[in-house]
Amino acid sequence: MVKHAVEANFDGLVGPTHNYAGLSWGNVASKSNVNAVSNPREAALQGLEKMKRLADRGYVQGILPPHERPHIPSLRALGFSGTDAQILERAAKSSPSILAAVSSASSMWTANAATVSPSADTADHRVNFTPANLSAKFHRSIEHAVTGRTLKSIFADEGYFAHHPALPSVSHFGDEGAANHTRLCGHYGEPGVELFVYGRAAFNEQAPAPEKYPARQTLEASKAIARLHGLKDGNRVFAQQNPAAIDAGVFHNDVIAVGNGNTLFYHDMAFLNEEQVLSDIRSRLTGTELEAVRVSSAEVPLEDAVASYLFNSQLLNTPDGMLLAVPGECREVASVSQYLDKLLAAGGPITAVEVFDVKQSMRNGGGPACLRLRVVLNDDELQAMHRGVIITDALYERLTTWVEAHYRDRLAREDLADSMLLDEVRKALDELTGILGLGSIYDFQI
């Protein structure tokens, strides 16, 4: 029997050290805003505002807490010693790039936190989670331990939820989580088709691969996740991302495609073998027909798609169609804004467009879809999870007050060495785990 299920979205709360350090080669926005002064308070409030608006529309909206940054255990592991203040000072002096990396608030982009397979698809009929090793970038490779602890704390009931460790942290198994994974289905509670999109095949040097920028996700990683989650052939499709798109700045598939329900919204440059991908999905999808909404390069040139983050939108069910939740930049790029008007005039399957201001995150290459992790949950699973992280009016108010009390409104590179910042972060996060009822998840709490 098919159980009623919903798609819950868990947004990453932007951390107090949000800054622009130019850490992500291949991510155009990250590189072009290097050393700009950030506003962590505004960034966190923009994120909370997005969550609140979606919660007000009736979506189940959760939150994942930021990580402890600067991350002193990572600096110790790299040979810096002394008190925390001395470690910061020494790292700032001899290795400012390492200090910047361990200070990034990049855990905000929870589309990269994990790959999640709903219980309707998995062999053990539980929701399966695998935190992404994010091994392509040092600053992101240190996220998965705390991500794993957080997910275990929220989805603790082993009767409903299964947690796998991250894949081995080497480039052969580079895994970027849900940013390269989307699920197509009829109703959420029915078995679906999980589309895994990879950038290169690590064990096949002859296979097509980008030439300029790194392909972060490997085929081998995607296959390993599908195996761990017990997905049968009928529930999974592997597709290669177009290497030319990666070389144009599409560092994750969610910068060029997004799927929801029976609808795949994508750019004609998204896949290496578009026809094969569509037919692989069609032959597996049951109980519904695939709606392929294809955007041509003539309508929206690839560089406009990257600049606007059109495809990094959230595609959400509404009572009478689907809502595309787009970043504000989509209305600033002429070809994209015109395309959106045309899309709405077509009358479906996408019937509404709503604009969200997440500019602070966008300057680091993170749009609305990067900021959220989707978890399909049936009614029993929704009851079984820890509810303290679900946005309500009261939690929104509480978190807004918390951000206003603890966050700076200006952060530049030189501030990262300030040991007062570290104290502020720990005090804030300690309070936050109390607000969310998460127990001890941070290294400084254990």
Ligand X SMILES: N=C(N)NCCC[C@H](NC(=O)CCC(=O)O)C(=O)O
Known binding residues for substrate are 21-30, 112, 139-140, 216, 254, 364
Residue 140, interface with ligand X (CB under 6 A)?
Answer: yes
Whether residue 176 lies in the annotated active site: yes
Q: Please, what is the minimum distance in Å from the beta carbon of residue 364 to ligand X?
A: 4
282 or 408, CB closer to ligand X? Answer: 408
Q: Are 246 and 282 in contact (CB under 8 A)?
A: no
Strand ranges for 171-301 from DSSP E = 181-184, 193-198, 236-240, 257-260, 263-267, 291-295
Name the H helices within 229-358: 243-247, 274-284, 302-308, 334-345
Candidate list 11, 254, 304, 381; residue touching ligand X; CB under 6 A: 254
Helix pair angle (393-406, 419-436), 10° resolution: 170
Candidate list 242, 366, 403, 432; residue touching ligand X; CB under 6 A: 366
Which positions from 325 through 364 interact with ligand X, judged by CB under 6 A? Answer: 364
Rg (CA), the chain: 21
- Distance, in Å, from the CA atom of 84 to the CA atom of 424, rounded to the nearest integer, reads 13
Residue 257, interface with ligand X (CB under 6 A)?
Answer: no
Residue 252, interface with ligand X (CB under 6 A)?
Answer: yes
Catalytic residue among 176, 194, 220, 329: 176
Residue 131, interface with ligand X (CB under 6 A)?
Answer: no
Whether residue 275 lies in the annotated active site: no
- Distance, in Å, from the CA atom of 184 to the CA atom of 281, rounded to the nearest integer, reads 8
Binding mask 16-55 toward ligand X (x if CB under 6 A, else -) reads: ----xxxxx--x--x-------------------------
Candidate list 106, 119, 218, 242; residue touching ligand X; CB under 6 A: 106
Nearest to 301 by CA among 338, 353, 328: 338
End-to-end CA distance of the chain: 43
Burial class (CB in 10 A: 0-12, 13-18, 19+), 51: buried
Q: Please, what is the minimum distance in Å from the beta carbon of residue 29 to ligand X?
A: 8
Q: Please, what is the minimum distance in Å from the beta carbon of residue 427 to ligand X?
A: 23
Residue 215, interface with ligand X (CB under 6 A)?
Answer: no
Whether residue 370 lies in the annotated active site: yes
Catalytic residue annotation: 176, 252, 370
